[in-house]
C-alpha cells in the first residue's frame, strides 16, 4: 500500500518527527506560560498541542500500517522493540489526548489543582514521547526495521566490496589542504565520483 508515493514504513517515518516536536514544544510553552505568567504562551501551548495530537495520531496510524507491511520481514529483536514502541506511542498519545480533551471540556477554566495535574501529565507525556523515539530509533538504526531484505542484502554486498575512489582522489587525500579533514567518507553505495 502506498500513499503520496510512500510505502507505509516510509510514510510513518515521514509523519513521526513533526508531531513529536510539536508535543515537546507544547509542553515547553505550557511550562513557560506557567513560569512567566504569559497568556500568549498558554494559547501557543494549546494550538501546538492541537497540532501535535492530530499529527501524532496520524503517525500512530501509519505506524500500525507499517507494522503490517513488514510483518514477515523482521526478526524477534525487531518484533519486541516494535511492540514496546507501539505501546509507548499509544500511551504517549493517550496522555496528550487526555490533556487536550480536559482543557477543551473545561473550556480553559481549570482550577489550580487541575492545572497541576495537567502539567504533571504533560511532563509525563514529554518523557514518553522521547522514550518512544528512542525505541523507534533503535528499530531503524540498530535493526534496519522497514528496510526490505533485498535492499539490505544489496547494501551488505556493497559494503563488503569496500569503497574505491577515482584516480586522483588518493593523491588529494595524501596532500589535503591546510586545516581540512583528512578522512574522506561517502555514503554507502555512492558510485565512483570526483570532488
Say if 189 falls within a structural domain.
no
Say if 64 falls within a structural domain.
yes
Say if 16 falls within a structural domain.
yes
Say if 32 falls within a structural domain.
yes
Q: Are 19 and 56 contacting, i.e. CB atoms less than 8 angstroms apart?
A: yes
Number of domains in the chain: 1
The one-digit pLDDT tens for each residue of the chain (195 residues) are 666 566 777 888 888 999 999 999 999 999 999 999 998 999 999 999 999 999 999 999 999 888 877 766 667 888 888 899 999 999 999 999 999 999 889 877 778 899 899 999 999 999 999 999 999 889 888 877 777 778 878 888 888 888 776 776 655 555 555 445 555 566 665 666 565
Query: Range of 97's domain?
Result: 2-152
Euclidean distance between CA atoms 163 and 83, whole angstroms: 37
Q: Of 38, 62, 61, 53, give the one whose Cα is nearest residue 122.
A: 53
Say if 19 falls within a structural domain.
yes
Say if 158 falls within a structural domain.
no
Say if 55 falls within a structural domain.
yes
Say if 46 falls within a structural domain.
yes
* pTM of the shown model: 0.73
Euclidean distance between CA atoms 183 and 91, whole angstroms: 44
Amino acid at each position: 500500500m502506498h500513499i503520496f508515493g510512500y510505502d507505509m514504513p516510509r510514510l510513518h517515518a515521514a509523519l513521526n518527527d513533526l508531531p513529536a516536536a510539536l508535543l515537546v514544544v507544547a509542553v515547553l510553552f505550557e511550562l513557560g506560560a506557567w513560569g512567566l505568567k504569559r497568556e500568549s504562551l498558554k494559547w501557543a501551548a494549546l494550538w501546538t498541542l492541537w497540532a501535535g495530537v492530530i499529527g501524532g495520531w496520524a503517525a500512530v496510524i501509519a505506524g500500525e500500517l507499517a507494522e503490517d507491511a513488514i510483518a514477515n520481514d523482521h526478526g524477534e529483536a525487531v518484533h519486541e522493540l516494535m511492540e514496546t514502541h507501539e505501546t509507548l506511542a499509544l500511551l504517549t498519545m493517550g496522555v496528550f489526548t487526555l490533556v487536550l480533551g480536559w482543557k477543551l471540556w473545561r473550556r480553559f477554566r481549570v482550577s489550580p489543582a487541575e492545572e497541576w495535574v495537567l502539567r504533571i501529565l504533560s511532563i509525563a507525556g514529554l518523557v514518553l514521547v522521547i522514550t518512544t523515539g528512542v525505541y523507534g530509533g533503535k528499530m531503524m538504526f540498530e535493526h534496519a526495521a522497514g528496510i526490505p531484505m533485498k535492499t539490505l542484502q544489496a547494501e551488505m554486498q556493497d559494503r563488503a566490496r569496500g569503497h574505491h575512489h577515482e584516480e586522483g582522489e588518493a593523491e588529494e587525500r595524501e596532500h589535503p589542504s591546510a586545516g581540512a579533514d583528512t578522512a574522506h567518507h561517502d555514503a554507502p553505495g555512492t558510485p565512483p565520483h570526483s570532488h
